[in-house]
Amino acid sequence: MTDDQSSWTGAVTERLRCCICGGSTGGAPDYVLIELTAPFAETRQWLGAHAGHLNGVLAEGFHVEVHLM
């Protein structure tokens, strides 16, 4: 992570668009990066999202919180 917390990209080279709303996540303080993997497969899928949008579609009992480090 750089000094500018809003530019964090995680394991990808740039921020991804929100997988819920399709909007830009550039500068969003609640940006989250999600890695999906499949058992017995050597492939990964990355999804970016605004935490607030992600919380709106998660099943009851699941909640995303963003903590700036």
Q: What is the per-residue pLDDT across 23-64, written as a single tens digit (0 to 9) for each?
A: 999 999 999 999 999 888 888 899 999 999 999 999 999 998
C-alpha triplet 64, 27, 54: angle, nearest 5°: 25
Q: Which helix H or strand E contains 50, and what residues bound it?
A: strand 44-50
What global pTM score does this model have? 0.77
**With contact defined as beta carbons under 8 Å apart, do 63 and 53 qualify?**
no
Q: How far apart are CA 46 and CA 19, in angstroms?
A: 10
